[in-house]
Structure 1
Amino acid sequence: MKLLGALTAGLLVTGCATTGAPAPSTVRPPLIPIPTGTAGLDHVLGTNAANLTRMFGAPVADIREGTARKLQFGNATCVLDTYLYPKGTAEPVVTYLDARQTDGSPIDRASCVGALQAGRRK
């Protein structure tokens, strides 16, 4: 009797399964790799806020949180976020930076640095 009950329950569950056509697959465009190295960034990494301002002009944002500082620079091409942290008692310097196009799309960090500097030379 228990076997018959288990068999009946299994058949009922099987009857609830859908047999429709599979959902269409979403085809995504291939991902474009964004270089993550620091090539072309050596003159930005390790520099202080005064040098950043000389390189890129006045920041569009200056955010301080404890001893850390974020300076954001931008133009029509991209936005560059630079993160400055102190090393010991020394002045905070750039230890990390991130970049994106103005629409939020990814862009190579070195390309953004170049675009910001090119805009400054005009």
Structure 2
Amino acid sequence: MWLAQGWTQAQLERRQLVEKGVTVVASMRNDDSGKPIDNALIAWADQAGLMVKIDRNSDWGNPFETPADGSRDEVCDNYANHYLPYKPSLLKKIGNLKGKVLVCWCHPLRCHGDHLAELANVHGD
């Protein structure tokens, strides 16, 4: 039934994790055919009040950009090692990300959201 409603197996697996209180990352990007990659998961999370945008238009956004500031790995590492640790206003809100769908443009490629999800899952309320 869910697959018939536009859910992919990967989206269903992440939804189940969120329903257990685990933070996951989703993509706002379209696939090669123009169809949103994680549309069903994002719509469900938004309706459930569990969606948090973490792109550059949000407080959670990564200020390091590819390719100007380095490779994908470098900008993700810089966010984790040289930005977030020095941003107490965000660190004190990590617990608010627990059990949420973090929405950015990168997933399924490496994303700073992976680091945020890891922190929320370890240190969340």
Q: TM-score, normalised by structure 2?
A: 0.25
Larger fraction in helix: 2
Q: TM-score, normalised by structure 1?
A: 0.25
Structure label with greater radius of gyration: 1
Higher relative CO (Cα under 8 Å, sequence separation at least 6) belongs to 2
